[in-house]
């Protein structure tokens, strides 16, 4: 029986595909629709000079550096992966004050009320104890502080190809790849349960009509990611990639999904 690794981003260091995951984050960060979303979210967050900011699950650190640029003060960027932190440090801009530290969101090594702002993007979908993660982020936020969370609703992922059963199998496998496939949809409830207040939530729909564009944020569509990354059932992988390529060549390819972001406050 074939074995398929689960949840690559849960434990990047043990995934066996850390370089591919780093390259994936880099390519996603460069997409214009992702840059536009970051601009919108950072404007809503309205980070002010001097505020203490925590970026949770910083990956390669691109947003942490944007936040440091906006505040002119130190941003603490944490990630549980040693490989990710190394990649973030390699990309560091010495003009900016970013401290990259190993930490797990479910046990943050910081005092209560240590930060004015918490940012967490595409991390909660990977965390089994998501309630604990939200409680920890709420704990380290000072009264009057705010948190922004961005996440995906993987159940919304849809791909239109004529091979509907194949698509169904591959897309349902995608949901098993994430500890919390519906984290994005659940943000408002999660953050409210964690004790945060005035939680607003907005959706961001992504729609792609070219496979090459879609494959950047959607690793399950990306032929460059090795089978071991396990984003689609290994037995279906060749047929799936061929069907996607055919739809693309025919000019009928469509893929879409919904991301959400929530802005929450601590009283
Ligand atoms: C999909 S990446 C997102 C990275 C970055 N926030 C971004 O949006 O580009 C998920 C990141 O969360 C980290 N991560 C996963 N579980 C974590 C945990 N329990 N505590 C801290 N970081 C975690 C992973 O190592 C990875 O770098």
C-alpha radius of gyration, the chain, whole number = 18
Q: Does residue 2 have a pLDDT over 80?
A: no
Helix (H, G, I), strand (E, B) or coil at 100: strand
Is the Cβ–Cβ distance between 181 and 234 less than 8 Å? no
Q: How many CB atoms lie within 10 A of CB 256?
A: 16
Res 230 pLDDT > 70:
yes
Tokens of 239: 């047929």
Provide, rounded to the nearest whole percent, the portion of the chain with pLDDT above 70. Answer: 97
- Ligand 1 atom 15, closest CA: 10
Predicted local distance difference test score (pLDDT) of residue 7: 67
Name the token pair of 197. Answer: 């207040």
**Mean pLDDT to the nearest integer, 2-6:** 42
CA of 123 to the centre of ligand 1 (A): 5
Cα–ligand 1 centroid distance for 243 (angstroms): 31
pLDDT digits (tens, 9 = 90+) for 152-209: 999 999 999 999 999 999 999 888 889 999 999 999 999 999 999 999 999 999 999 9
The answer to whether the CB of 34 falls within 8 A of the CB of 150 is no
Q: What is the DSSP letter of 113?
A: T
Give the contacts of 182 (CB within 8 A, at least 6 positions apart).
Answer: 153, 154, 155
Tokens of 95: 């003009």
CA torsion sign for 259, 200, 107, 115 is positive
Mean of pLDDT values over 254-258: 98
pLDDT, tens only, 43-76? 999 999 999 999 999 999 999 999 999 888 889 9
In the reported structure, the alpha carbon of residue 135 is separated from the centroid of ligand 1 by a whole-number distance in angstroms of: 17
- For residues 237 and 220, what is the distance between their CA atoms, to the nearest angstrom? 9
Mutate to test the pocket of ligand 1, among 24, 31, 57, 220 (most ligand atoms within 8 A of CB): 57
Residue bearing the CA closest to ligand 1, atom 12: 57
Average pLDDT over residues 129-144: 98
Centre of ligand 1 to C-alpha 130, Å, is 13
Phi, psi (deg, nearest 5) at residue 237: -60, -50
Predicted TM-score (pTM) of the model is 0.95
pLDDT > 50? residue 257: yes
Enumerate residues lining ligand 1, CB below 6 A: 9-10, 12, 25, 57-59, 79-81, 84, 104-106, 121-123, 126-127
């Amino acid at each position: 029986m074939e074995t398929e690794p689960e949840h690559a981003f849960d434990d990047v260091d043990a995934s066996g595909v850390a370089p591919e995951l780093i390259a994936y984050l880099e390519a996603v960060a460069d997409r214009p629709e992702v840059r536009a979303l970051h601009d919108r979210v950072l404007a809503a967050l309205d980070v002010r000079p001097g505020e203490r900011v925590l970026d949770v699950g910083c990956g390669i650190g691109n947003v942490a550096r944007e936040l440091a640029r906006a505040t002119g003060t130190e941003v603490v960027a944490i990630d549980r992966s040693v490989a990710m932190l190394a990649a973030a440090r390699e990309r560091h801009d010495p003009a900016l004050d970013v401290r990259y530290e190993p930490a797990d969101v479910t046990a943050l090594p910081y005092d209560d009320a240590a930060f004015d702002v918490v940012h967490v993007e595409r991390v909660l979908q990977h965390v089994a104890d998501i309630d604990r993660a939200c409680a920890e982020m709420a704990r380290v936020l000072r009264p009057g502080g705010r948190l922004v969370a961005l996440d995906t609703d993987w159940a919304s992922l849809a791909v239109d190809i004529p091979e509907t059963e194949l698509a169904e199998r591959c897309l349902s496998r995608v949901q098993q790849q994430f500890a919390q496939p519906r984290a994005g949809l659940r943000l408002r409830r999660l953050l409210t349960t964690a004790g945060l207040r005035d939680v607003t939530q907005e959706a961001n729909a992504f729609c792609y009509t070219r496979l090459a564009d879609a494959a950047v944020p959607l690793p399950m569509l990306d032929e460059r990611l090795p089978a071991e990354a396990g984003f689609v059932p290994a037995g279906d992988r060749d047929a799936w990639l061929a069907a996607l390529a055919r739809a693309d060549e025919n000019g009928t390819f469509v893929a879409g999904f919904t991301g959400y972001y929530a802005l929450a406050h601590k009283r």
